[in-house]
Amino acid sequence: MSQVRICLENYSGTYYAGSEIRGRLECYFDEETTVRGIKLEIICREHNEWTGTEEYKDPTDNSTKTRHITLTGDHDVFHVKQMLFGSESGSREVSRGRQVYPFSYHLPYDIPSSYHGPHGSITFKLKAVVDRPMRVDYEDKFIFNVISPIDFNRLSKDLQEMTSYSDEKTVCCWCCQGGNISVEIELPKIAFIPGETVPFKINVTNLSNTNVENIKIKFRKTVTFRVTDPHIETKEDVDDILSFGDHGVGAHGQHTFDLTLAIPPGLEVPNFTRCDLFKVEYLLKVTAEMASCTMDLDVEAWDVQLGHIQYAEATTHPPTHSYPPPSGGAYPPPSGGTYPPPSGGTYPPPSGGTYPPPSGGAYPPPSGGTYPPPSGGTYPPPSGGAYPPPSGGAYPPPSGGAYPPPSGGAYPPPPGGAYPPPAGGYPPAGGTSPGFYPPPGGSYPGPYTPQFPGYPSNPPEKTSPGPPSAPMDDNPKAREAAMGGPSAPSSAPEAPPPTYSEVQQSANLPYPPK
């Protein structure tokens, strides 16, 4: 049996707006098959449906009656087709067996999110079609989810400005004027996200003879659904997200209420970008409830918006400097220089010019110049010079010179000299005085120069081991003998040198290197 199957790399089937959908079509043919083409369709469709009524005239008795009908609305937000093999016309053969056709598609940024409401839905669908002429097509469908966050950084900055809404009325009772009442709402901005806490103010001025009994606040969300067939009709789904109140204001009084609007963190915020059949509105409504027969005063903040990503001021402010840079300007402006360079300097620098010009030098350095200029030297160094110039020497070293110059020596060492100079010479000039390396005609190691207190200048040569000596702490004479003290008898046999642990315990000293 022949078939076609959609396989996605993202097994969860959920994508963000602007991301890439990648996958493949796997087609299985029992025999060589004639097709027009093999294509993939990516569809975003909004659909509403409910049962309504309509009136009609019954021809049998010429009376008007009512009947139930199904009202629908359908609209494709976008519909993209990709031909993976063949075309919309003609015919071609596909070999028997398994055929694989990879595909990819970048979702737009300005698309709605997947949505399922009480009267309709917004769905995203992949549809694979093997178009066979004069035969039933092979098809496969896959519904995937799209998350399209509302990012206030992509919308107008005006949403972040402080906004006020106000209204007033004249209080009348039995045709007698009783003064004016005004209510004003002050919002720091009109763009909020779930979980945000927004401080706002309500200013009530009551110049009438009637008390304002209470102040009521409601934050409401309204989703509107629309159908178009067989006629246009709408339905609304209203949700009072927040509802709270405060005390009133007496006659001839004024009060400012400092309140907080706490948007619930779990509130569903749909994105209906580019939709024709769905609309969402948010309303902040303040009601001044009046006493007796006076009508209440309502003030509405009707253009409040909710989203998912709050405005980040640092990312939306325009840069203080323009790019590309204006003539004679810089981006960003360097200290003491401009790009493009002003008159008098060029980049790349001409011979003898600078950018930015150093004080007293040039880049690249002219012959005999410096960058940066050292005191008394040049770069590159002339013959016999140095950078930086050592005292009395040069780099590269001239014949007989040194860098850095040792005291009384040279590098590379001249015959008979040394670097660094020991007490003597390096390489040894045929002498046998202590301090030469390697020792001429002698053995290694050479004469031992005492470096640690308590050790003889010339350790005795190793002999066959004798009986072990007593610990130094328990045998003072053995310690004195080992340390070469005066109390050791001259006729006594030489004691073996102390072990490292013994010396470390007594003097806390490291054992000398062998």
Task: Give residue-wise pLDDT tens across range 476-512.
Answer: 444 444 454 444 444 444 555 555 455 455 544 444 4
pLDDT reported for residue 3: 87
Please give the single-letter amino acid code of residue 19: S
pLDDT reported for residue 293: 75
Calculate the CA 192 to chain-centre distance.
22
Report the distance separating Cα 105 and Cα 92, nearest Å. Answer: 25
The long-range contacts involving 316-319, CB below 8 angstroms and separated by at least 24 positions, are 316/153, 316/157
pLDDT reported for residue 411: 52
pLDDT reported for residue 294: 81
pLDDT reported for residue 382: 55
pLDDT reported for residue 209: 87
Q: DSSP label at 44? A: E
pLDDT reported for residue 174: 60
Reduced to 3 states (helix: H, G, I; strand: E, B; else coil), residue 142 is strand
Report the distance separating Cα 379 and Cα 395, nearest Å. Answer: 11
Report the distance separating Cα 513 and Cα 42, nearest Å. Answer: 81
**Burial class (CB within 10 angstroms; exposed 0-12, middle 13-18, buried 19+) of 116:** exposed
Could you tell me which of 275, 382, 107, 47 has the C-alpha nearest to residue 370?
A: 382
Task: Domains for the chain: give ranges and CATH numbers.
Answer: 3-55+66-148 (2.60.40.640), 154-314 (2.60.40.640)
Report the distance separating Cα 511 and Cα 503, nearest Å. Answer: 8
Q: DSSP label at 385? A: -
- For 9-162, where are the E strands, in sequence order? 14-16, 20-29, 33-35, 37-58, 63-86, 92-94, 97-106, 115-116, 120-131, 138-147
Instruction: Indicate the helix (H) or strand (E) that contains 302.
Output: strand 297-306
Which residues of the chain fall below pLDDT 50? 1, 314-339, 341, 344, 346, 352, 360-361, 368, 386, 392-393, 408-409, 416-418, 424-482, 484-493, 500, 503, 507-514
Task: Render the burial of 126-160: b for 16+ CB within 10 Å, e for the rest.
Answer: bbbbbbbeeeeebebeeebebebebbbeeeeeebb
Could you tell me which of 63, 19, 11, 62 has the C-alpha nearest to residue 42?
A: 19
Please, which residues have CB within 8 angstroms of residue 489's CB and are 6 or more apart in sequence?
Answer: none
